[in-house]
Amino acid sequence: MAPAQSALRMTDLLHSLPVRLSLMASIVGGFALGMADRSAGSEGSLRETPIVKAIQNAEASVVNIQGSKSVKGEAADGGRPQLVNGMGTGVIIDPRGYAVTNLHVVQDVAKIEVTLADGTETTAKLLNFDPSTDLALIKIDAKDPLPVIAIGSSHDLMRGETVIAIGNPFGYQHTVTVGIVSALHRNVPVNGTQEYYDLIQTNADINPGNSGGPLINIDGEMIGINVAVRVGAQGIGFAIPIDAALEVIADLVASSQRQQVSLGMAFRGVRDSEGSYLEVASASLHGQQPSADIASGDRLLAVDSQPIRSRLDLELRLLNRQQGEALNLEIERGGQKLARTLSLMGSPLAAASSKVNLDDLAWERLGIRVTELRAEEIRTASGSYKGGLKVVAVRGNSPAAQRQIQVGDVLVGMMNWQTPTIDHLQYVLQSPEFKQSPKVKFYLMRGTMTYIGDLQNTAKATR
């Protein structure tokens, strides 16, 4: 009976085997199907992480920059000029090809060679720059509209949040590195004459060639511009916060226009729970009255159907426009959206006027905007200053920028006078001595140190 029972059991097993094999095939097939559902690019794939999506959203607007420049050789070589190759990164901020990068990437470069994300090779032209912040505006030669980076904000960055750097380190194009915000508000000295202020510190690998490229958040928005590395250190890189960079870039765009134009209004940036926007601070700027029904407190939403969220957006819309050209504005007043048409005016800086505003005068002749500080707010060893004027903006390629005056510096004197108040500075700028001097001596505080230098007097140069 034992053999028969064994045979029976074997027969039962053989009869059941196709069923089990069929069941196994279903399980394996289902597993394979599940794997297929999780393949790269499929909806819900575990591989398509927020980091991957952020890179995909941003990388098309990042360009790689190559160029060569002539530098003075070593004494051992007789000091003869030598040709050196450089590399860096840029970020497209306007579909017409306007991009931002670091000044040291493109300064003195004879031919700026640019490679777009799709591999297209082209060239770019340096339009404007600001030495004090190491930022530069370039125009890429492109036939078709280019993808633009999404711009976020740096005001609410958190230590530990994920950030991503995209760049051209050592010539390896479109390299991405991931890290976190390590620290905020870092001041980083570069050499004896230049120091970067209020930088973002990150441990996302930043190497030579990343300069000028974006530091983006997990949403793919640019929250900084990579600018520096700490020589000899690993996992320490720095970026210019985007909120500070936007103001400088807006000035670079504004002062690069061939014909200065104005809406005849003053704006202020506002940030609330809904985001950032521009609000009309004054609807009648320096005696110029807009030809449309616009009032202080109105929110500017769009110009010619293009959204306006910052002063940079507005300056880009005004770029290369002509005086008298009509713009279609969308504004918001009391929660209601209104349409307005406004003709562009000549810029107050370009208009001849016997009653010149000091803010414009200092901006035009020196390239700075200032605000008053009390004597007790100035850190000085001597305590001899009665007050000073804190620099809040520096115009690119201006006399102040060329002398590396930086935001945060405090102007305490000019020529033979102290400048404790705006009235004192106005007196100096309108004095006969100032108007007749090709160069003017200035005194400024940076930290607790006093620096002395000479500014080129544009008022004298243009007489």
Over the stretch 438-451, which tens digit does the pLDDT of each residue have?
Answer: 888 888 888 777 78
pLDDT value of position 201: 95
Give the mean pLDDT of 270-278: 81
pLDDT value of position 15: 45
* Residues shown for the chain: 463
pLDDT value of position 358: 66
Q: What CATH number should be reported for the domain whose range is 150-246? A: 2.40.10.10
Topology classification of domain 57-140: Thrombin, subunit H (2.40.10)
pLDDT of residue 7 exceeding 60: no
Share of the chain above pLDDT 90, in %: 34
Top mean pLDDT of 119-133, 137-151, 387-401, 437-451 is at 137-151
Answer whether CATH 2.30.42.10 is correct for domain 264-346. yes
Question: What is the pLDDT confidence band of residue 289, given thresholds at 50, 70 and 90?
Answer: low
Please tell me the CATH superfamily of domain 358-461, with its number.
PDZ domain (2.30.42.10)
Top mean pLDDT of 264-273, 314-323, 384-393 is at 314-323
More confident residue, 55 or 354: 55
Q: Are 379 and 448 in contact (CB under 8 A)?
A: yes
Q: Give the residue extent of every domain in the chain.
A: 57-140, 150-246, 264-346, 358-461
Q: Is 9 buried (19+), middle (13-18) or exposed (0-12) by CB count in 10 A?
A: exposed
pLDDT of residue 21 exceeding 50: no
Top mean pLDDT of 67-71, 117-121, 191-195, 272-276 is at 117-121
Domains 57-140 and 150-246 share a fold: yes
Under 8 Å CB-to-CB from 371, ≥6 apart: which residues? Answer: 389, 390, 392
HSE-up (13 A, CA, CB side) for residue 231 = 3
Alpha helices in 87-187 (DSSP H): 103-106
Catalytic residue positions? 104, 134, 211
Question: What is the pLDDT confidence band of residue 113, given thresholds at 50, 70 and 90?
Answer: very high
More confident residue, 107 or 73: 107
